[in-house]
Structure 1
Amino acid sequence: MNKWLRKSLFIMFSIATFGLVTPPASLAVQEKPAEDTVSKSPLKDESVDQSAAASIEVEQLPPSKDQVISTILLEAEEKSYSKFGDKISVVIEDEFKEVIFPKMEEIITYYLNVEDDELFQQLAVSKPSGGTSEKIFHIYNTETGEDVLRFHVRRENRPLEGYWFNFHYHTYHDSFQSHKDLGSIFWDKNTPPNWMSYVN
Structure 2
Amino acid sequence: MKSFLRKSLIVLVSILTFGTVTPSHALWSENDDAPRAQHRGDSSNETAQKPIFESQIQVEEKSHKEKFIEVMTDEAERQSLIKFGPKISNVIKDEFQEIILPNIEEAIEMTAAQFPDDELVNLAITEMPGGGVSEKIFNIYHAETKQDVIRFHVRREKPPLEGYRFNFHYHTYHDQFQTHYTIGTIQWNKNTPPNWQTV
The bucket for the TM-score relative to the shorter chain is 0.5 to 0.7
- By how many angstroms is 1:70 displaced? 1.9
Partner of 1:95: 95
Residue in structure 1 matched with residue 110 of structure 2 by the alignment: 110
**Counterpart residue number, 1:22:** none
When residues 152 and 118 of structure 1 are mapped into structure 2, their CA distance, relative to the original with a 3 A threshold, is farther
What displacement does 1:89 show?
A: 0.6
Instruction: State the match for 1:141 in structure 2.
Output: 142
Pair 1:189-2:177 in alignment? no
Bigger Rg, structure 1 or 2: 1
Q: Match for residue 69 of structure 1?
A: 69
CA deviations 1:36-70 (Å, max 9, x no partner) are xxxxxxxxxxxxxxxxxxxxxxxxxxx93332222
Matches within 5 A, 1:8-47: none
The answer to whether the 8 Å contact 1:120/1:148 transfers is: no
Give 3-state SS (helix, strand or coil) of 2:164's partner.
Answer: strand
Mapped to 2, the partners of 1:119 and 1:163 lie a distance apart of: 40
Q: 1:65 to 1:119 in 2, by over 3 A?
A: closer
Name the amino acid aligned to 1:88. I
Q: Contact 2:164–2:189 at 8 Å: present in 1 too?
A: yes
Question: Partners of 2:149 and 2:140 in 1: how far apart?
Answer: 6
**Residues 68, 77 of structure 1: CA spacing in aligned structure 2 closer, same or farther, 3 A cutoff?**
same
2:82: which partner in 1? Answer: 82
Q: Supply the distance in 1 between the matched residues of 2:156 and 2:120 (Cα, whole angstroms).
A: 30
* d(CA) in 1 for partners of 2:117, 2:71: 20
Q: Where does the alignment leave 5 or more consecutive residues of structure 1 unmatched?
A: 1-62
For 1:179 and 1:120, locate their aligned partners in 2 and report how far apart those are by CA, in whole Å. Answer: 24
3-state SS of 1:144 partner: coil
Identity over aligned pairs, percent: 55
Give the length in aligned residue pairs: 136
Give me the CA root mean square deviation.
Answer: 1.9
Say if 2:173 is the partner of 1:172. Answer: yes
User: 3-state DSSP class of the match of 2:93?
Assistant: helix
Go from structure 1 to structure 2 and tell me whether the alpha carbon gap of 1:119 and 1:169 turns closer, same or farther (over 3 Å shift): farther
CA distance in 2, matches of 1:159, 1:117: 47
User: Mind listing any 5+ residue stretches in structure 2 that lack a counterpart?
Assistant: 1-62
Output the CA distance in 2 between the equivalents of 1:120 and 1:162: 41
Q: Please name the residue that 1:152 is paired with.
A: 153
